[in-house]
Structure 1
Amino acid sequence: MSTPRRRISSLGLAIVLAGALIQLVLGVYYLAMAHAPHPHHLPVGIVAPASQRAAIVPSLEAGGSFDVHVYASAKGLTSAIQERKAYGGVVLDQKGATLYVASAASPAVSNLLKNLYVQEYDRRLAASVAKATAGGRPVPATTVTALTKPPKIVDLVALPADDSAGSSLGFMIQALSLGASIASMALGQLGRRTSRSLQRGLGHAALLVIYAALSAGVALLAMSAFGVGRSADHGGLFLAYGLVSLAITASTAAAVSLVGRAGALVGGLYFTLGLIISGSSIAPEMLPRAGRVVGQLLPPGAGASFVRDRLYFSGASDTTELIVLSAFAGVGLLIVIICNLRGGLAASAEPAGGAHSAREVP
């Protein structure tokens, strides 16, 4: 016969094993997603004559690391970078070679492109020096000047001094996701104090919207305190943060309405699993394909892209991100209202059904 002490020991052992298993799963997941980020079909551009493209493009696209898009002019390439259609690109013309990057899109990708560019530049420089000094002939001064010129690199959308590492976006999305998850769970528990009804559903939805607006304001306040996003459109940032917060809170609240307290795990999954594949700290194209695709279809990922564009890339198209965030927010609010409405209708019908049954019993 089992004693209370044995039952407690068994429960304790089960908790210890469950904790170790969760740690194992999370550790494997995090390492699989981000232990060694490298490009997967990362979009870049090139402006160069066909003969030079033929020598460069195949090596870049080998292995699926880069997707190289050809542009007719430097203006077309720079516009694509400023609209976040490409992370960078090179222009080869009569003036020489110029690399264009946008460190605000991803410091890691920007550094990767710079390193590749400098390596290729040094390789060509060594070949030019060997050719110029072949046979012991004197090298003209103009040739020496041309050979000693540093590689030209232009950062079209640079990170501001107050966010030189580009980490602010990741921190803000992390804080917003955690706060929104906690708020949605707390509001769900508060709703249990009253019976389900349309009024309760509308009230719950209204509180989620109010929290999203407050959350956006707090995010802007925190950023302003450290000088991040000074030149950004604060109105657009407010709407972006608010929509991200609402997408997380509404979808978590909807899960709680459908399955009870277990639905709160949705908010936990956003934080523990969704953040690392959100692209807020690691560019989506540096993640494995599954992580990249799934990450951008979740509120933290779509939100990170949407907020980044509001911060640094005002000309970028955010259609996909808006659809994802609006779907999570809109469907989530609708489920919260419908679940409360159905509960209210069932509660109002129960007394009548009970009275009818009572009359049928002799």
Structure 2
Amino acid sequence: MLTAIISVLLTAFAWPSVRSSVHDVPIAVAGPDAAVEQVTAALGQRLPGGFAITEVADTAAAQRLIRDREVYGAIDVSSGTPQVITASAASTAVAQTLQSVATALGQGTGTTAAARDLVPLPADDPRGAGLAAAALPLVMGGLLAALLLTRLIRGTARRITGALAFAMTGGLAIAAILQFWLGSLDGSYLANTGAIALTIAATSLSILGLESLLGYAGLGLGAAIMMLIGNPLSGTSTAPEMLPGWSGALGQLLPPGAGGRLLRSAAFFDGRGATHSLVVLVTWLTLGVMLCLAGDLRTRRTAAVADTTARPTAPRP
């Protein structure tokens, strides 16, 4: 059993990293039609299936797509001189890939492609290490909150209130550490706090709901979903599009992946591109509350039936 457990753990955490590659990463190519077709063909030859390309007319359109989080970066040939526009705040891995690909393309044409980081990471954390490292503590925080609340607190309303209170205090603390001490976040502190708090609340309440309905089996199921699936497939350290196959899309439907994207949007993109993540997190939070209420209702009905069965029957006259 222990051998199986460590094998599953290794597979869950190592497989996405080892099999990570560039495929269908959305980028823009800006410039005249002939130049865009030439760059697109060259990208297809160098990295077949690596990029999902959106063709735009000029630099401003490419920058707008990057700021709206519709693409990760752009190759701009609208001025005649090739330029690579990246957004390391969206993904350092994609930014580095774009720069290396553009450099290779430039060598093939005898020109040098200039690089510009449109949405950079903070100077105190230029590699985004703080954001990547924060993914696991957020999941662990939600899991530990659910575990302690089920062991120490009685009453569904009290448990839900406790989970929400912890999510808020945890959000305040983690955002303060990342933003003011480590320098890993920019933007509004309150917006970053809200993104973190919503992630913790969605994680803890969904696990609480499963435990309320299924008991310890639900607690284990919730922990497995968040830790063994959600965290490795979150794409926080690279990008969801770089994970193998369909795993990146699945990760964005779970709280760890949605929370990581929401925090990036709040910290670096003024909330742009956050709609999908908000919907996912609110859905998990709502589902968790509903499961808690359903479990509480079932417990009350079971207790009422047991009380009726145990009540002595009045003797007949």
With structure 2 as the length reference, what TM-score do the two structures score? 0.92
CA contact (8 A) 1:177 1:245 kept: yes
CA contact (8 A) 1:244 1:300 kept: yes
Match of residue 163 from structure 2: 208
Structure 1 residue 20 corresponds to structure 2 residue 20:
no
CA deviation vs aligned residue, 1:21-46 (integer Å, no higher than 9, x gap): 22223333434322142111000111
Structure 1 residue 306 corresponds to structure 2 residue 262:
yes
User: SS where residue 100 of structure 1 aligns?
Assistant: strand
Match of residue 33 from structure 1: 16
Structure 1 residue 124 corresponds to structure 2 residue 109:
yes
Within the candidate set 140, 152, 158, 2:114 is matched to: 152
Structure 1 residue 297 corresponds to structure 2 residue 253:
yes
Can you give the 5+ residue segments of structure 2 that lack an aligned partner in the other structure? none
Number of residue equivalences: 313
Structure (1 or 2) with the larger CA radius of gyration: 1
* Structure 2: distance between partners of 1:296 and 1:220: 21
Structure 1 residue 183 corresponds to structure 2 residue 145:
yes
1:180–1:353 CA distance, 2 compared to 1 (3 A): same
CA contact (8 A) 2:143 2:207 kept: yes
With structure 1 as the length reference, what TM-score do the two structures score? 0.81
Please list, as runs of the form range in 1=range in 2, the aligned pairs for 1:159-238 lying within 5 A after superposition: 159-191=121-153, 194=154, 200-223=155-178, 224-229=180-185, 231-238=186-193
Please list, as runs of the form range in 1=range in 2, the aligned pairs for 1:246-325 lying within 5 A after superposition: 246-265=201-220, 266-325=222-281
* Structure 1: distance between partners of 2:295 and 2:12: 34
1:350–1:318 CA distance, 2 compared to 1 (3 A): same
User: SS where residue 165 of structure 2 aligns?
Assistant: helix
Match of residue 300 from structure 2: 344
* Structure 1: distance between partners of 2:290 and 2:77: 54
1:264–1:106 CA distance, 2 compared to 1 (3 A): same
CA contact (8 A) 1:298 1:324 kept: yes
Match of residue 111 from structure 1: 96
Within the candidate set 226, 239, 244, 2:194 is matched to: 239
CA contact (8 A) 1:61 1:68 kept: no
Give the partner amino acid of 2:252: Q
CA deviation vs aligned residue, 1:56-89 (integer Å, no higher than 9, x gap): 2134246321111011221010011112111111
Structure 1, 313-322 or 41-50: larger mean CA deviation:
313-322
Match of residue 138 from structure 1: none
Q: Could you tell me the percent identity over the aligned residues?
A: 25
User: SS where residue 68 of structure 1 aligns?
Assistant: strand
* Structure 2: distance between partners of 1:341 and 1:258: 10
User: SS where residue 330 of structure 1 aligns?
Assistant: helix
CA deviation vs aligned residue, 1:138-167 (integer Å, no higher than 9, x gap): xxxxxxxxx7xx531111011111111112
CA contact (8 A) 1:83 1:314 kept: no
Give the partner amino acid of 1:188: T
CA contact (8 A) 1:208 1:249 kept: yes
Q: CA deviation at 1:275?
A: 1.3
1:115–1:361 CA distance, 2 compared to 1 (3 A): farther
* Structure 1: distance between partners of 2:311 and 2:19: 67
CA contact (8 A) 2:131 2:184 kept: no
* Structure 1: distance between partners of 2:62 and 2:166: 41
Give the partner amino acid of 2:16: M
CA contact (8 A) 1:169 1:280 kept: yes
User: SS where residue 54 of structure 2 aligns?
Assistant: strand
CA deviation vs aligned residue, 1:103-127 (integer Å, no higher than 9, x gap): 11111111111011111112211xx
CA contact (8 A) 1:201 1:338 kept: no
Match of residue 133 from structure 1: none
Structure 1 residue 88 corresponds to structure 2 residue 73:
yes
CA contact (8 A) 2:32 2:57 kept: no
Give the partner amino acid of 2:34: S
Q: CA deviation at 1:94?
A: 4.0
